[in-house]
Amino acid sequence: MNLPEKLQTLRKQNSFSQEELAEKLGVSRQAVSKWESGAAIPEVEKLIELSRIFGVSLNELLQVEETTEQAQSPAISQEFSEDQVAKIELLIDKHIAASKQSVKSKRFIVFSVATVLIIALFYIFTFSKIGRINDEISDLQFRISDINSSVQSQLSSFSANFSSLLESQNSIVSTFNCEIVAVDLANQIFTAKLSVLPKTFTDNMSFTFTAEFGETSLPVAAVLNGSAFETEITNLPMSTEINLMLTYEQDGIKQNEPLEPFSLPLDYFLLDIQSSCSRYSFYPLEQKLTFNNSDINTTISFSKPFDPDSNLPYPYPISASVQILINDELYREYPIDLKNPSSGNSDTEPAEPAIASPSDSGSANVSSYFLGESYTTNITEVITLQEGDSIKLVSVCEDSNHYKYIHTIVHEKLVGSTLVEATDWRDLHSTEIIYPHA
């Protein structure tokens, strides 16, 4: 990933628009756009400020990867070989044997043994010093190798960035924009508006966008609108990476240039639902399950990034309930009043929830979208179970796009006189999403 791609990825990960990032850096939105398209490179001061804003190191921003090579040097043994030890022992034995013959020989033995000890100490000292020198050499070689690896890595990174800069300079595109203008959730497809501003303009130039996904290729000719060439590509699949190729033609000569791929995850238009049950009890002798003034807490939220000025179908809940199911059949349903979310304080009047669709004009601010609320449903039930019966406690929600969410809170089965989990623990507290048919 080159620098322009890295800047755009980090900006999207931090949920910044180009305008917001430009304001933080004290530059124009066009400057940020040029950085992300590769038409220009940020100054060193701006690169440092970008790394601070995105919370990454400058090396990571510039795609510097460090490698480490460790040089190994064989250690010099500080011990005598078996042959050396055997020779020393033999020499000592000879002197001891000679000491039995004369006092003079004893003196000679003492002198010889002292000589041998001195030589042994000399060897030990010498090998010890050589070992320390060897360790210092190994450490020095390791440091040199580490410095060399770091320099090579930085050179490779600068070379890659320089190559990317050359590619951007050779590009025919000054600015490229991709905007999602329509979404069909029933068929899970969308429409994208593409526009490109060429670096130079001539009367007989033309551009064609080609969207590729799987084995499908959709070429669409762009139309000149002002100084930019624009078009819309429809029937693009959601949650699939779309590769884009721009074909430039002038005087019968064609030039292809790949553009940044994009996708629209289906998750961007789904609510999050979480539920919990405060308490319930089972009495094995009577085989009765009781919910005695139990609170079912349900939180419905929408935390995906969105554009408040668009007409895209961002979801909000239109109905919700807590349901008890016996053997997968509805036993009791408790509607959730979406107009009265939990306030968390009994002395405070519940606030009006932010549940509203975008305005008809397509111009809406953040507060006109559903961002999330928590709801408390109090239930009291006494349920008599039979051997083999299963019981489920779920929260159910339907959103404005007619997607249905079923969040499992409790799922147990009566075996003998014991209630046991009737589902894998990974499925418990999971949310099943039922998609509407086209």
**What is the rounded end-to-end Cα distance, in angstroms, of the chain?**
38
pLDDT at 94 over 60: no
Domains present along the chain, CATH in parentheses = 173-264 (2.60.40.10), 267-434 (no CATH)
Q: How far, rounded to the nearest angstrom, does the alpha carbon of residue 309 sit from its chain's CA centroid?
A: 27
| pLDDT tens-digit map of 164-219 | 544 555 678 888 999 999 999 888 999 999 999 988 888 788 999 999 999 999 99
Percent of the chain with pLDDT over 90: 36
Cite the beta strand spans of 103-158 per DSSP E.
none
**pLDDT the model gives residue 343:** 46
Measured between alpha carbons, how far is residue 84 from residues 74, 373, 375 in Å? 21, 85, 87
**Inter-residue contact 89 to 81 (CB < 8 Å):** no
* Stretch 385-413: mean pLDDT: 93
Question: Is the pLDDT confidence value at 354 over 50?
Answer: no
Tell me what pLDDT residue 101 has: 55
Local confidence band at 57 (pLDDT 50, 70, 90 cut-offs) = confident
- Res 226: pLDDT: 87
**pLDDT for 142 beyond 90:** no
Least confident piece of the model among 86-100, 222-236, 410-424: 86-100
Confidence of residue 68 (pLDDT cuts 50, 70, 90): very low
- 8 Å CB contact between 206 and 249: yes
Mean pLDDT, rounded, for 36-49: 85
